Structure 1
Amino acid sequence: MLELAPNEALSEKELSLKLGISRTPVREALIKLADEGLVDIFPQRGTYVSPIRVAEVLEAQFIREALEIAVVRRVAQDADAAFAARLDEQLRLQKQAADARNLDDFIALDDQFHHAFSDIASLPRSWKVIQSVKSQLDRVRYLSLPQPGHIEQLYMQHSDIAAAMQANDSDLAARHMKTHLREVFRSIDKLVKQHPSLFGEKAGGPANRPAR
């Protein structure tokens, strides 16, 4: 993630040689990435890594928030000791990754933590929808995670969500999840200032966010 710079040209031929596969699966993969907003394909001009478009990040956050809060409310009502233990184990592993500054492991564990709610609620399509829209969100996550104190803050927010779930308090769990998911707003503000070249002109800007 973010190993290729926004607006960097992508060559089907070079990618196929690098990966050791034919150009057909490379072309199909690029089309899929274009659908996810990660590459821009311009006929007769070429294929390029897409900039991070803030409007798309905010739309993805809107969809994710609506779904995850609804899922969390449902799960919190009936969360049992087995699910509480599952969340505790997730938090233990997250703490290890945070202390070791292993950002890739923390990102993977973050996804597992959020997936656990849809999984226990038997709502697999909800998680698939979230995954389908969060590519741009993930780019922001990877950029913001190394910032001082950020990984620790996310861990504490996860802990708050888990505690509310274990208390079967659906309103509190929903409030903590909302606060957690809207952390992307603060991240966007900082990143646009620190790395303006990563963001596209069609972004619309951080000001176009929903009210908190």
Structure 2
Amino acid sequence: MAVDTLNPTQPVNQQIYRILRRDIVHCLIPPGTPLSEKEVSVRFDVSRQPVREAFIKLAENGLIQIRPQRGSYVNKISIRQVSNGCFVRQAIECAVARRAASLINDDWLWQLEQNLSQQRSAIDRQQQNDFFTLDDDFHQKMALIADCQLAWDTVENIKAAIDRVRYMSLDHVSPPEMLLNQHFEIFNALEQRDEARVEEAMRRHLHEISESILLIRKENSEWFSEE
């Protein structure tokens, strides 16, 4: 098994968590797949302790289930968790968008423009993973503009199940081109400092995941749980 190289300047457990989270969200590790502390420790050439800590974080986010004496397994996508996560995310990010409209300056507008340009490039190059990352970066910047990193940290901690559906929907249900257009609607409202308009644009954008889950679940029923 090839060894994945980690950054020695960053906490090992957090890096392992982020990589495994990405692999699960990107559908590289299907539901029901067993995860072995030993195999993961070999993959990253580390002791089992940081792997165990990463597993605990994955379990807290609903991505895996740790069964004492029986091992750890990747969970199915919980419909309930996605629904609750969408509700909480919309409440937070709509408030963030409104506040961002009142605080945004020319430097932040330039940074958002750069992000949107990069999204355009990722779409043109058909780099779905890059677009996925840039999409998150766009939303994180909104929280920074609103001077509330805690808002994004909270969203990040509750959106793992949402991200799995987001990723599965990118190729046909919620194509990047459509999402980019929605991001531009948010940007244009921010540029006008229109608090009501940017909040509504964000609400429409985030509602997309609630709509897409119905079709994604129908197409991939074996990946989902009603719990």
What amino acid maps onto 1:20 in structure 2? Answer: D
Tell me if structure 1 keeps the 8 A contact 2:76–2:225: yes
1:13 aligns with 2:2: no
Alignment of 1:125-144 (within 5 A): 125-144=150-169
Deviation of 1:23 after TM superposition, in Å, equals 1.5
Counterpart in 1 of 2:3?
none
Between stretches 58-67 and 143-152, larger displacement belongs to: 143-152
Matched, 1:169 2:194: yes
Tell me the TM-score normalised to structure 1 length. Answer: 0.90
CA distance in 1, matches of 2:149, 2:91: 16
The alignment covers a number of residue pairs equal to: 202
Q: CA deviation at 1:52?
A: 0.5
Q: How does 1:106-121 map to 2 (within 5 A)?
A: 106-121=131-146
- Note if 1:193 corresponds to 2:213: no
**Could you say which residue in structure 2 is the equivalent of 1:206?**
none
Q: 5 Å matches for 1:11-160?
A: 11-147=36-172, 150-160=175-185
Instruction: Report if aligned partners of 2:86, 2:162 keep a CA contact under 8 Å in 1.
Output: yes
After TM superposition, give the deviation of residue 16 of structure 1 in Å. Answer: 1.6
CA distance in 2, matches of 1:146, 1:167: 32
**Gaps (5+ residues) in structure 1?**
203-212
**What are the residue-to-residue correspondences of 1:195-210 with 2, within 5 Å?**
195-202=220-227
The 1:80/1:28 distance shift into structure 2, 3 A limit, reads closer
Quick check: 2:80–2:226 contact (8 Å CA) kept in 1?
Answer: no
Residue type at the aligned position of 1:6: P
Query: Per-residue deviation at 1:196?
Result: 0.7
Letter of the structure 1 residue corresponding to residue 30 of structure 2: A
Paired with 1:74 and 1:54, the residues of 2 have a C-alpha distance of: 30
More deviation in 154-163 or 14-23? 14-23
Return 5+ residue gaps in structure 2 as ranges.
1-25
- After TM superposition, the score normalised by the length of structure 2 is 0.85
Distance 1:46 1:194 in 2: 29
Question: What do you get for the CA RMSD once the two structures are aligned?
Answer: 1.4
Instruction: Tell me if the contact between 2:34 and 2:72 (Cα under 8 Å) persists in the aligned partners.
Output: yes
Distance 1:78 1:119 in 2: 10
Please say if residues 55 and 64 of structure 2, whose CA atoms lie closer than 8 Å, have aligned partners that are also in contact: yes
Identity of counterpart residues, as a percentage? 38
